[in-house]
């Protein structure tokens, strides 16, 4: 029994040493080239991870939320200045009411955290919310508005939270705004082009994502930043979101750095 314990301890220590060495190596490799300016995150696999761990769906989302905070820290440390997170799609609202309510509670506590977060201040993070906010409750909307207003003058880092978001809905909403603008004479029909169109999207004025990462083995966008992802690089990995390790994230960045982006040229 005693020997078994010692062997397990040695195995764990050896694993920790190898992990640390590999992490250092990845970090050194990444430091040699520019990191992406804007990363999109499709955090997926919370419920499957929870099931595997014998936890409830809500616990899966809670761990997912904690992982998000950790990943944001990695981004700020690495100098990734804009992160867009797919927190809740319009489709997610079709899930069981109890799950949706728990997710919305988690979102509300997340935005409340922002109001007292030292890290948000230290990293000068401007929070923007993308989505059909009218689908959210009044208390949540006002917490979101407070978080956005408190951080509006920061410019070093940006965190966009896509909540009640759908890429097609965003394009439809932009089209409606354009039609209104044409009708009231603010712009002329022949002034509409890709550049002007993007000014009507929720992400107006922001750079398109360079890299979009999706966890859990699913390889699709599920409506995430449909317009903005036209020339993004994609990185899909099999791990569930709550179990994402720093080395997984660093490998995603390294893969991005090794790709050649051509933008159709
Ligand atoms: C994906 O896993 C996760 C979600 C759809 C919800 C993620 C949202 C949060 C953790 C709340 C964060 C809130 C803010 C404001 C940032 P899944 O539920 O699709 O799991 P599965 O793919 O295993 O079914
Ligand atoms: Mg999922």
Q: What are the boundaries of each domain within the chain? A: 1-32, 36-258
If you take atom 16 of ligand 1, which residue's CA is the nearest one? 87
Ligand nearest to the CA of 44: 1
Residue 89: closest CA among 51, 42, 123: 42
* Angle at which helices 46-53 and 57-78 cross, to 10°: 120
Mean pLDDT of 128-152: 97
Task: Give per-residue burial for 29-45: e unless 16+ CB within 10 Å, then b.
Answer: ebeeeebbebbbbbbbb
What is the reported pTM? 0.94
Q: Does domain 36-258 have CATH number 3.40.1180.10?
A: yes
What's the pLDDT at 240?
98
HSE value, Cβ hemisphere, 13 Å, CA-based, for 58: 12
Instruction: Output the average pLDDT for the chain.
Output: 96
Q: How confident is the model at residue 260 (pLDDT cuts 50, 70, 90)?
A: confident
Report the nearest atom of ligand 1 relative to the CA of 51. 23
Residues with CB under 5 A from ligand 2 (ion): 44
| CA–centroid distance for 182 within its chain | 33
Mean pLDDT of 115-119: 94
| CA–centroid distance for 102 within its chain | 19
Report the nearest atom of ligand 1 relative to the CA of 103. 11
């Amino acid at each position: 029994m005693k020997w078994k314990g010692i062997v397990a301890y040695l195995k764990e220590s050896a694993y920790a040493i190898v992990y640390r060495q590999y992490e250092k190596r990845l970090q050194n490799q990444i430091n040699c080239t520019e990191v992406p300016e804007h990363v999109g995150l499709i955090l997926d696999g919370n419920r499957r991870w929870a099931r595997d761990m014998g936890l409830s769906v809500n616990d899966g989302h809670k761990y997912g939320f904690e992982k998000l905070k950790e990943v944001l820290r990695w981004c700020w440390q690495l100098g990734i200045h804009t992160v867009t997170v797919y927190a809740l799609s319009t489709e997610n609202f079709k899930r069981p009411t109890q799950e949706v309510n728990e997710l919305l509670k988690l979102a509300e506590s997340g935005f409340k955290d922002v109001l007292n977060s030292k890290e948000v201040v230290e990293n000068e993070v401007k929070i923007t919310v993308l989505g059909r906010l009218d689908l959210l409750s009044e208390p949540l909307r006002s917490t979101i508005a407070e978080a956005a207003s408190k951080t509006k003058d920061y410019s070093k880092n940006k965190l966009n939270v896509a909540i009640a978001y759908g890429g097609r809905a965003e394009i439809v909403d932009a089209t409606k705004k354009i039609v209104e603008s044409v009708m009231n004479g603010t712009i002329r029909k022949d002034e509409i082009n890709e550049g002007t169109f993007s000014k009507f999207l929720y992400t107006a004025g922001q750079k398109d994502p360079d890299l979009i990462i999706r966890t859990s083995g699913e390889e699709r966008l599920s409506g995430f930043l449909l317009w903005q992802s036209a020339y993004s690089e994609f990185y899909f990995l099999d791990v569930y979101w709550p179990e994402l390790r720093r080395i997984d994230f660093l490998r995603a960045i390294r893969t991005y750095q090794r790709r050649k982006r051509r933008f159709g040229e």
